[in-house]
Amino acid sequence: MAVFEGNFTQNISSLKFAIIIGRFNDLVTDKLLSGAQDCLKRHGINVNPEGTQVDYVWVPGSLEIPMVARQLALSTNYNAIICLGAVIRGDTPHFDYVCNEAVKGIAATSFETGIPVIFGVLTTDTMQQALERAGIKSNLGWNYAMSAIEMANLMLQIKR
Ligand code: INI
């Protein structure tokens, strides 16, 4: 028997990622993106959009993230896909609809395609809480990128 665990050191130069970013609340999503890029870069991944390791796709809001994630996952060009969005309750009466559709669609995409799709959509009551998670206190963009590297490497191990 064996223990499988994703790591942060192997296959680094061959890994490919897509990052999908919602423009809605881009004060927050821009910062999540910076955190994710910082993490990928410090693990040796070339985050330059002109390079071969990370593609970036901007969408209007979190509701559009799942369909784009699905399309990218079906292309099989990526080891993992990171979805970045920010849904803030104070801004909208349809907070719950946007959150539910985003989480359902992202989870379904992972499940259907076998490509790790990381749920990096912040769901908070206030802009203050969102900003605290996007850089004022910590930057969860970093954590989402860590999950992407870990899952990319784990899938390479268990697909063998
Ligand atoms: N999209 C978000 O990413 N965050 C939000 O807080 C939000 N609010 O508040 O409505 C939001 N709405 C836009 C939605 O994601 C779609 O882009 C839009 O409905 C067009 O389909």
pLDDT of residue 160: 63
pLDDT of residue 92: 67
The active-site residue, picked from 11, 76, 94, 137, is 94
**Euclidean distance between CA atoms 45 and 11, whole angstroms:** 10
**Euclidean distance between CA atoms 148 and 34, whole angstroms:** 15
> Of 47-56, 76-85, 92-101, 147-156, which gets the smallest average pLDDT?
92-101
Mean per-residue pLDDT of the chain: 96
Chain centroid, CA 11 distance in Å: 19
* Ligand 1 atom index nearest CA of 62: 3
User: Of residues 90 and 50, which shows the higher confidence score?
Assistant: 50
Could you tell me the distance, in angstroms and rounded to a whole number, from the CA of residue 155 to the centre of ligand 1? 31
pLDDT of residue 159: 81
pLDDT tens, position by position, 10-28: 999 999 999 999 999 999 9
Edge-to-edge, what's the strand order for the sheet holding 17-22? 54-59, 17-22, 80-88, 117-124
* Residue 60 to residues 86, 95, 97, Cα–Cα distance (Å): 11, 15, 16
Predicted structure pTM score = 0.97
Could you tell me the distance, in angstroms and rounded to a whole number, from the CA of residue 42 to the centre of ligand 1? 31
Which residue among 24, 58, 127 is best mutated to probe the pocket of ligand 1, counting the most ligand atoms within 8 A of its Cβ? Answer: 24
The SS3 call for residue 119 is strand
43 is catalytic: no
pLDDT tens, position by position, 60-102: 999 999 999 999 999 999 999 999 999 999 766 788 999 999 9
Could you tell me the distance, in angstroms and rounded to a whole number, from the CA of residue 116 to the centre of ligand 1? 23
- Residue 58 φ/ψ region, left for φ over 0, alpha for ψ in the -120 to 50 degree band, beta for the rest: beta
Q: Show the ligand 1 pocket: residues with CB < 6 angstroms.
A: 22, 24-25, 60-64, 85-88, 91-92, 94, 98
For the chain, the 3-state helix, strand and coil shares in percent, each to the nearest 5, are 50, 20, 30
pLDDT of residue 94: 84
